[in-house]
Amino acid sequence: MRCALARARRGFTLIEVLVALAIVTVGMAAVLGTLTSSADTVSYLRDKTFANWVALNQIATVRISGQLPAPGKTDGDTDFAGRKWHWQQEVNTTQVPGMVRMDVSVRPADLESSDSDRGWYATLSGLSGDAVGLPRGDLPNWGAQLLAPGSNAAGGTPATTPGVLPGVSRGVSAPTPQTPVPPSTTQPTQPPGSP
């Protein structure tokens, strides 16, 4: 009986404590690894979003400059969101005269890559140009909702052609303005039979 009581009061051995500590250490390392990976992923996604915005800003800057960029590669640096970003723009001609395609790649400026075609956080494409096409006549008249009911852009009645939606302009030209007629000094003629 004394032997059974001694075993019950003995507690954990040193080996059991060390095994328990090893299990806790492995579990904590896994949790910390997951938290670190999650923080890195959030940081990378934030930087990727900023890189997309930098690329969109570069494309918009070229578009609003009013000048068609020359084909070829250019690069530069810009500050955005408290960080310096490096961008590379490649301009290629298209089959449409007066239109070019711009491919803009962006990465943080402090991230140096030995391969210039790798390590970009974002690559976006955009078009720019001064090509003007002839109106096709099948585009909706976006101002039709501002017209009075029962009229179309040409000032007449709604279109009755099958397959043509009301308010859609099909190459109808606006009526030519007429010169106003000065008021007459003579009395208007009365139709026959009127009092």
Domain ranges (residues) in the chain? 1-129
Summarize the chain as % helix, strand, coil (round to 5): 30, 20, 50
> Which pLDDT score is estimated for 119?
84
The 3-state DSSP class for residue 140 equals: coil
Percentage of the chain beyond pLDDT 90 is: 41
- Residues 64 and 61: their CA atoms lie apart, in Å, by 5
Q: Which two tokens stand for residue 13?
A: 């051995």
**Tens digit of each residue's pLDDT (9 = 90 or more) over 133-142:** 666 666 666 6
Give the architecture (CATH level 2) of 1-129.
Answer: 2-Layer Sandwich (3.30)
Average pLDDT, the chain: 77
Higher-pLDDT residue of 132 and 34 is 34
**Tens digit of each residue's pLDDT (9 = 90 or more) over 53-108:** 999 999 999 999 888 899 999 999 999 999 999 999 999 999 888 899 999 999 99
For residue 169, pLDDT over 50 is answered with: no
Percentage of the chain beyond pLDDT 70 is: 59
Higher-pLDDT residue of 61 and 166 is 61
- Residues 98 and 65: their CA atoms lie apart, in Å, by 15
- Residues 4 and 95: their CA atoms lie apart, in Å, by 94
Distances (CA, A) of 55 to 72, 86, 107, 115: 17, 10, 10, 20
CA angle 112, 116, 118 (to 5 degrees): 85
> Which pLDDT score is estimated for 183?
57
pTM: 0.54
> Which pLDDT score is estimated for 51?
95
